[in-house]
Amino acid sequence: MNDYNQSKKARRITAVIYLIIMAVVVGGTYLSEQKKAETKALQNSAVR
């Protein structure tokens, strides 16, 4: 493999890892917000 192909492969691997990390962060944030909304709804219904 020449240097260009090795560099290209490394960039692709880095991009895939970055996308996986961002998917975990966004997914975790989404689930956290859903849980907060659910908890708030339960608290509001318990107060009434």
Q: Is the pLDDT of residue 32 over 70?
A: yes
Residue 36, pLDDT > 80, answer yes
Tokens for 48? Answer: 């009434």
Inform me whether the pLDDT recorded for 3 exceeds 90.
yes
1 has pLDDT over 80: no
Q: Is the pTM of this model over 0.85?
A: no
Buried b (16+ CB within 10 A) or exposed e, 22-44: eeeeeeeeeeeeeeeeeeeeeee
